[in-house]
Structure 1
Amino acid sequence: MCTKVAIAALSVKELAEQFSLTPPFRAKQVYGWIAKGVTSFEQMTNLDKVSRQKLEEMAVLRSSRVSKELRDEDGTLKLQITLCDGLAIETVLLTDQDNRKTACVSCQAGCAMHCAFCQTGTLGLARNLTASEIVEEFLFLEERAGKLDNIVFMGMGEPMQNLEAIRKALSVLTDPEGRALSSRRITISTCGITKGIYDLADNGPQVRLAVSLTTANENLRKSLMPVTNGNSLGELKKAIAYFSQKTQK
């Protein structure tokens, strides 16, 4: 059960307010340690004992846990992660020929899109992931593989249905005072929800967009991807053009 506060995606201000950390720089210290990927409050060596005890009683650095690891010869690492309510998701580390490392993360437990070719779609949607759960996926991979170069939202779930949590997670991961991941190294994928593409273009974050087109045949796409109903190829083309013009990406 989720009984303590997950803090992986909390800002400095939120940490200070949530745990009444004083003096004010204490929250910034905690924030820095989270970005470094520490797994226990005892590792926060510049914190006083009282602050560490308070955090230990009220908070968790990881609300989820890795329940299974699978590693392929090509360097691909797949983690099965069990959330605090018992649901399971997957996150994957991809390594290219130049040894650049990419985190492929999930944003939902299950998926409501029901694409015919996707196994996750057969599960249905259990719930959206929280911002902290998304950040934890990234941190679990960095624990095992070192500093990652890129992050792509191409795991379980449809990102456009959980944009607020993704925004919150990325605000921490891209913060210069935190993990400082470049927004140019972040890609959000969608199966074609045009409303979400417009939202992302207008409200950020300024990241790369990937669209799962599958086929340019409208009727075939409708049979494979129910999202096409209400998100036609013509409408999708307009949304992508708007995103490109608005973001220059």
Structure 2
Amino acid sequence: MNSREEQLKALDRLLTIMDELREQCPWDRKQTMQSLRHLTIEEVYELGDAILDKDLDEVKKELGDVLLHIVFYAKIGSETRDFDIGDVANTICEKLIARHPHIYGDVKVNGEEDVKRNWENLKLKEGKKSVLEGVPQSLPALVKANRIQDKVAGVGFDWEEPSQVWEKLQEELGEFQEEVKKNDADQMEAEFGDVLFSMINYARFLNINPENALERTNKKFIKRFRYLEEKAAASQKNLKDMSLDEMDVHWNKSKDFFK
């Protein structure tokens, strides 16, 4: 592993390269925060994929791409004299010190839950009007629901036992089924949202990340379906021409390879 001196040297090298690219490369010179935004989101998702795949070499590469974007935004900020990379680093350092009084102050905590509760209370003292103020509006709905529940739990608005959440989920499923029987599209959507919200809440109580869990299933399904396609092609058959029973044979075999 690199020493602290070598790490700082590598960061300095990246800052120098960013300066050179911004000055000499037509594409880099043209970029704005707005033009980089969607690319940054894409890079973060690619990092997420690498983490789910447990591909540490790819994680390293994707972290580099995300770091490049951070440096890029800081470079643009320095050109308008609003902030530079030093300001970015110092801002997060000050926030971390302020939000961890149990490390940098005299506050006593008894565990992780105390830390999370203190974190949310400190944000309110900093001027935030709501604990939900920090939840980005553009987050995907599933991720947003998880963050909302996590944040309100941080100030004590939560169930006491997983069994209570499970009972709530059963209640929501019953209400959803009632709307299905009525065939009311609007109310079915509303109640289905409540079911998903309760499922996400139950996952939180079981320490399951719902986004990771669903993406894991997505990847598993894709692998199994591609296996089915390959077997169909090997038999010189088109999936559209196969019966469900024929497809099920290959689908069930795929489960032996992709758990």
Q: TM-score, normalised by structure 1?
A: 0.25
Q: Whose Rg is larger?
A: 2
Structure with greater strand percent: 1
Q: Which has the higher contact order (CA 8 A, sep 6+)?
A: 1
Structure with greater helix percent: 2
